[in-house]
């Protein structure tokens, strides 16, 4: 055993005895762990250790098991099966777990006495030889162990894990420790984000970073969060989209770029909305929305193959039954917006505005919030097309009122050259042939800002006047993409720390 009191001084704050601070609760369980903490110190063991060299993480040992090899590993004790003079421990971290076999005669009487002061939840380092138990479990026979961190609070139920949604979200670490299904979702999220970067990098796109704090928040129609710069004495906004800065970089000559990071929208919170969310935006000069659609299709299929092992994604309910099946096999269906509306109501475009509203009312659609006629049509689209579409669908030729910043279609000026990708009943990604005529852009933005010039990003418009190459652009909501690929029904299940009300 290593360590000693001298190594432990940083634990105490000046004038306070270690172990007496931060004790707002005084339950017996906490008191017992505090006593063990002091017992470790009394035995000359630093309960909060330092550097420990490892040869393998816990999950790596069974994953690539070799019998009879000396290893050093470290992890949290997540289970303890006491057989008297020998003990079986599960040692875990995000890589997985490995079983440790610990015998008093092997580690010696001093270490065995120290072991008595350990608990489920503590971090330890172990050195020993690999072997296989009678039951066939790849294990490490400990010849020594080192206390790395004493846990002063008990872990959640070892079998059920954390079930309380509040604890899952507010104390995600407990969810990660005790729920393998949750760990798997985040493993997929991490692989998806890394996979997107690699995919785009392989195709010559470069990752850039643009301001998150903006004087004029643009690039989308959404309420921003407001903040203030003290030294400058000016208000700033958290970005609602990076678009207007990425387009400045197109002007600057970067022809294949993307940004994969957070945006902020000061709007409702729901199963599908978190105030901060992760979005990919990519711009490809000299391309159009059709090529962007193909790029997204190829990328998502690639992610499904590498992260989920196939093109068919299944979502499971609590009872283990399949609740959803999403088939991502290419080629993905592409359909015009107007044709999709006609598939719901064949003579929709022959009806007048009043007749359309009457039809909605007769079919149980609440359109009281729709002021304009195109909003009524869009509501029909959302309820009767979008929400029912599980497999990928590129919706093309959308009405220009819905996407005021896209290029009009040369053959039909009432629609724009965009796609909206729908998977799993929600909009996952829009793609554009980006508008690069500075005069049309100015007119659209002026119209959109409703004459409030302080909302107009003049510097962006000026940049366009220097000439922006024609380009295809996409946005992908990463949280929703992960929900779809990882089988999560709430955005809170794919964000480590979703926003929660103060308690």
Residues that bind RNA (CB under 7 A): 27-29, 32, 36, 79-86, 88, 99, 101, 103-105, 119-120, 131, 133-137, 139, 153-167, 169, 268, 270-271, 366, 368-369, 489-490, 492, 498, 500-503
Closest CB 263 distance from RNA, rounded Å: 19
Closest CB 74 distance from RNA, rounded Å: 19
Give which of 418, 405, 386, 409 is closest to 291, Cα–Cα: 418
Instruction: Count CB-CB contacts under 10 A for residue 98.
Output: 28
Burial class (CB in 10 A: 0-12, 13-18, 19+), 399: middle
Closest CB 460 distance from RNA, rounded Å: 31
Closest CB 194 distance from RNA, rounded Å: 27
CA dihedral defined by 117, 121, 127, 128, rounded to 10 degrees? Answer: 90
Beta bridge partners of 103: 86
DSSP code string of 154-219:
PPPPTTT----HHHHHHTHHHHHHH-HHHHHHHHHHHHHHHHHHHHHHHTT-EE----SEESS--S
Closest CB 408 distance from RNA, rounded Å: 31
Identify the residue whose tokens are 């995000």.
94
Alpha-helical regions (H) of 259-386: 289-303, 337-344, 353-362, 373-384
Instruction: Count CB-CB contacts under 10 A for residue 308.
Output: 19
What burial letters (b/e) apply to 236-275, b meaning 16+ CB within 10 Å? Answer: bbbbbbbbbbbbbbbbeeebbbbbbbebbbeeeeeebebe
Nearer to RNA, 271 or 388 (CB): 271
Nearer to RNA, 274 or 433 (CB): 274
Nearer to RNA, 6 or 160 (CB): 160
Closest CB 400 distance from RNA, rounded Å: 25
Closest CB 104 distance from RNA, rounded Å: 7
Closest CB 88 distance from RNA, rounded Å: 3
Closest CB 83 distance from RNA, rounded Å: 4
Nearer to RNA, 143 or 306 (CB): 143
Phi, then psi, of 420 in degrees rounded to 5: -120, 120
| DSSP strands (E only) in 197-332 | 206-207, 213-214, 226-229, 234-238, 256-264, 276-285, 312-316, 322-327
- Separation of alpha carbons 372 and 383, rounded Å: 17
Nearer to RNA, 152 or 328 (CB): 152
- Separation of alpha carbons 382 and 264, rounded Å: 23
Nearer to RNA, 169 or 419 (CB): 169
Identify the residue whose tokens are 């929600």.
426
User: Encoding tokens for residue 198?
Assistant: 């690699």
Closest CB 135 distance from RNA, rounded Å: 2
Nearer to RNA, 76 or 247 (CB): 76
- Separation of alpha carbons 175 and 181, rounded Å: 9
Beta bridge partners of 420: 395, 430
CB neighbours of 462 closer than 8 A, spacing ≥ 6?
none
Closest CB 61 distance from RNA, rounded Å: 13
3-state secondary structure of 406: strand
Nearer to RNA, 29 or 351 (CB): 29
CA angle 236, 239, 240 (to 5 degrees): 135
Nearer to RNA, 129 or 401 (CB): 129
Closest CB 52 distance from RNA, rounded Å: 23
**Running DSSP on this structure, what letter comes out for residue 307?**
I
Nearer to RNA, 290 or 489 (CB): 489
Nearer to RNA, 157 or 235 (CB): 157
Nearer to RNA, 109 or 309 (CB): 109
Closest CB 320 distance from RNA, rounded Å: 15
Nearer to RNA, 391 or 489 (CB): 489
- Separation of alpha carbons 496 and 493, rounded Å: 7
Give which of 81, 444, 471, 26 is closest to 281, Cα–Cα: 471
């Amino acid at each position: 055993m290593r360590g000693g009191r001298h190594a432990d001084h940083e634990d105490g704050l000046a004038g306070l005895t270690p172990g007496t601070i931060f004790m707002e609760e005084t339950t017996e369980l906490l008191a017992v762990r505090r006593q063990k903490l002091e017992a470790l110190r009394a035995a000359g063991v630093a309960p909060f250790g330092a550097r420990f060299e490892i040869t393998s993480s816990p999950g790596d040992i069974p994953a690539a098991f070799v019998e009879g090899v000396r290893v050093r590993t470290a992890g949290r004790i997540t289970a303890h099966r006491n057989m008297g003079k020998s003990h079986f421990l599960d040692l875990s971290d995000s890589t997985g777990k490995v079983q440790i076999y610990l015998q008093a005669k092997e580690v010696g009487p001093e270490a065995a006495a120290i072991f008595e002061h350990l608990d489920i939840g503590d971090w330890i380092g172990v050195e020993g030889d690999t072997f296989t138990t009678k039951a066939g479990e790849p294990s490490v026979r400990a010849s020594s162990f080192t206390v790395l961190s004493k846990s002063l609070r008990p872990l959640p139920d070892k079998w059920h894990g954390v079930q309380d949604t509040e604890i899952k979200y507010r104390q995600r670490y407990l969810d990660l420790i005790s729920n393998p299904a949750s760990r798997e979702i985040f493993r997929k999220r991490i692989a998806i984000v890394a996979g997107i970067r690699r995919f785009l990098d392989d195709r010559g796109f470069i990752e850039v970073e643009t301001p998150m704090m903006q004087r004029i928040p643009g690039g989308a129609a959404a309420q921003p969060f407001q903040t203030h710069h003290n030294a400058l004495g000016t208000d700033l906004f958290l970005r609602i989209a990076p678009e207007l800065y990425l387009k400045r970089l197109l002007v600057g000559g970067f022809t294949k770029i993307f940004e994969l990071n957070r945006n902020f929208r000061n709007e409702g919170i729901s199963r599908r909305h978190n105030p901060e969310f992760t979005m990919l935006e990519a711009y490809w000069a000299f391309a159009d929305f059709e090529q962007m659609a193909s790029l997204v299709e190829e990328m998502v299929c690639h992610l499904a193959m590498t992260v989920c092992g196939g093109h068919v994604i299944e979502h499971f309910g609590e009872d283990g039954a399949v609740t959803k099946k999403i088939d991502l096999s290419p080629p993905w269906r592409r359909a015009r917006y107007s044709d999709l509306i006609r598939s719901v109501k064949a003579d929709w475009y022959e009806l007048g505005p009043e007749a359309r509203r009457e039809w909605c009312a007769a079919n149980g659609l609440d359109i009281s919030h729709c002021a304009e006629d195109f909003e009524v049509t869009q509501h029909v689209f959302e309820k009767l097309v979008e929400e029912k579409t599980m497999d990928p669908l590129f919706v093309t030729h959308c009405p220009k009122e819905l996407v005021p910043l896209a290029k009009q279609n040369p053959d039909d000026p009432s629609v724009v050259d965009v796609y909206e990708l729908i998977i799993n009943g929600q909009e996952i990604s829009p793609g554009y042939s980006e508008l690069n005529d500075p005069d049309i852009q100015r007119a659209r933005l002026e119209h959109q800002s409703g004459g409030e010039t302080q909302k107009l990003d003049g510097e962006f418009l000026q940049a366009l006047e220097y000439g922006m190459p024609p380009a295809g652009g996409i946005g992908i909501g990463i949280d929703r993409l992960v929900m779809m690929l990882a089988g999560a029904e709430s955005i809170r299940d794919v964000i480590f720390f979703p926003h929660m009300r103060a308690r």
